[in-house]
Amino acid sequence: DTEVTQTPKHLVMGMTNKKSLKCEQHMGHRAMYWYKQKAKKPPELMFVYSYEKLSINESVPSRFSPECPNSSLLNLHLHALQPEDSALYLCASSWDRRGDYGYTFGSGTRLTVV
C-alpha cells in the first residue's frame, strides 16, 4: 500500500458545525502532515506530527484541532470555521522528520464553509 487515503473527499459545513477530516496511511511512515491549499496557490503547511507527537504548529487558528490517535491515522477537527477557510485540505506522510525520499500526499478533502 503506497497511498495516503483521505475522507471525505468533499465536505460542506456551516459556520456553527463541527466536523472532522480523516487521513490514513499504511506505509509505516512516522511523520504526518496537514496542508491547506487555496486555488492556484501552493500548499501551505499547517501541522506536523512526528512519532505521533505534534512537532510543528504553523500558528494555525484554534478552530483547527489536529489529532494523531496512532502512527497510521491523522485527524483534523473543525469547529466554527469561516468562509475563508474554504480550501483543499491535504494530508501527507513521510518516513521521518526529514522527509527522506519525499512526501506522499493524499488526494485531499475539498472543504466549503457556508
Footprint on this chain of another protein (rule: CB under 8 A): 4, 6, 31, 40-43, 45, 48, 50, 55-56, 88, 90, 92, 96-99, 101-108, 110
Whether 106 and 92 have beta carbons less than 8 Å apart is answered as yes
Grid coordinates standing for 15?
459556520
Minimal distance in Å, beta carbon 102 to another protein?
4
Whether 36 and 44 have beta carbons less than 8 Å apart is answered as yes
In whole angstroms, give the CA distance from residue 83 to residue 113: 5
Minimal distance in Å, beta carbon 54 to another protein?
12
Q: Which is nearer to another protein, 7 or 15 (CB)?
A: 7
Q: Which is nearer to another protein, 42 or 83 (CB)?
A: 42
Minimal distance in Å, beta carbon 106 to another protein?
5
In whole angstroms, give the CA distance from residue 56 to residue 105: 18
In whole angstroms, give the CA distance from residue 108 to residue 84: 17
Q: Which is nearer to another protein, 31 or 113 (CB)?
A: 31
Minimal distance in Å, beta carbon 80 to another protein?
26
Burial class (CB in 10 A: 0-12, 13-18, 19+), 60: middle
Q: Which is nearer to another protein, 80 or 99 (CB)?
A: 99
